[in-house]
Amino acid sequence: MHCNTAKTIFMLMFALCSDASLAQTGDAKGCRDPAMFPKRIPNFAIASCTTANDTQQLRWPGGQKQVMGVRTEVVYRAPSPQQGATPKYVAANYANAVASIGGTLLDDPAKSTLGDRLTARVPIGGQEVWVHLTSDTAVVGGNWTTYKLIVVQPDAGAQVISARKMLDELDKTGYITLYINFDTGKSSIKPDSQATLGEIANLLRSRASLRIAIEGHTDNVGAAQANKTLSESRARSVLDAVVGMGIDRKRLKSAGYGQERPIADNRNEEGRARNRRVELVKQ
């Protein structure tokens, strides 16, 4: 059965933050390392962080693009120039991290004289996540005392998890967390979540004996009873959509828990976004 206290959440392949990415001493309250880049440069703490729907203008040798979506900015700061790091060292570390997850470097620090900027595109679930690294402060004694990491993804739940990965996670933990987009305050499923619904149907087709419960969850904004009713309606909408794709209704059930079972901190938007979710629970 689903253990509500478990912290193993099968989200996007690289969600912007994760429970495994714990705050370190000296970090600004509520800030975490982006889960794409869990290892920061030694001696640096998070000075500030913001997450919002926004745009980011990116430029690199031979190209430029304005990207928009969920933009997360994390600013890191060292206590002094002596405890900082050279721009090339910082950028090279993040360039290696980008390469390790299959990203493409558009502004490669290894190919520039200063080596102090990085712009990259990382394909995740058929969509593009953009990464940009720079600094707002001058070099002192050869070192950066601050650096800024920006990650922009199309939507907090836009990536599509394959049926195979869903099944693997259900077999491993008994449940899986999905981020299906609905109209605000409604149970109407947005078109950009149709691919995810298709993968749920594929999952059930791949194992005829599998039965699942579809559970809806919300953040804590609004009245508790209204949130519970909304979550029930959203879970039922997902069930109906999957049945409409040819899956026997007898293999499915739905329930809504509103704001009763949060998996993240409701005091910030990032946490609330994680709490607005649908979970598939193996029966």
Share of the chain above pLDDT 70, in %: 87
**230-235 mean pLDDT:** 96
Could you state, in order of their start, the residue ranges of all structural domains in the chain?
Answer: 45-153, 163-282
- Residue 1 burial class via C-beta count within 10 angstroms: exposed 0-12, middle 13-18, buried 19 and up: exposed
CB 122 within 8 A of CB 102: yes
Give the rounded percent of residues in the chain with a pLDDT score beyond 90: 51
Statement: residue 11 has pLDDT above 60: no
Average pLDDT, integer, range 74-88:
95
Q: Confidence class of residue 35 from pLDDT cuts 50, 70 and 90?
A: confident
Residue, of 127 and 85, whose pLDDT is higher: 85
What are the tokens at 205? 């087709």
Q: With beta carbons less than 8 A apart as the criterion, state whether 135 and 147 touch.
A: yes
Domain 163-282 CATH superfamily: OmpA-like domain (3.30.1330.60)
The candidate with the shortest Cα–Cα distance to 71, out of 211, 236, 265, 269, is 269
The pLDDT mean for the chain works out to 84
pLDDT score recorded for residue 126: 58
Residue 176 makes CB contacts below 8 A (sequence gap 6+) with 10, 161, 166, 169, 170, 279, 280
User: What does the pLDDT average to over 31-48?
Assistant: 89
pLDDT of residue 155: 59
Question: Tell me, what's the pLDDT at 86?
Answer: 94
User: Which pLDDT score is estimated for 156?
Assistant: 46
Q: What is the pLDDT of residues 151-160, one digit of tens each?
A: 998 754 444 5
Going by pLDDT thresholds of 50, 70 and 90, the confidence category of residue 101 is confident
pLDDT of the residue at 10: 32
Can you list the pairs that 265-268 forms with residues at least 24 positions away whose Cβ atoms lie under 8 Å?
265/30, 266/219, 266/220, 266/221, 267/30, 268/30, 268/51
Query: First-to-last CA distance in the chain?
Result: 7
Higher pLDDT, 207 or 115: 207
**pLDDT given for residue 145 in this prediction:** 96
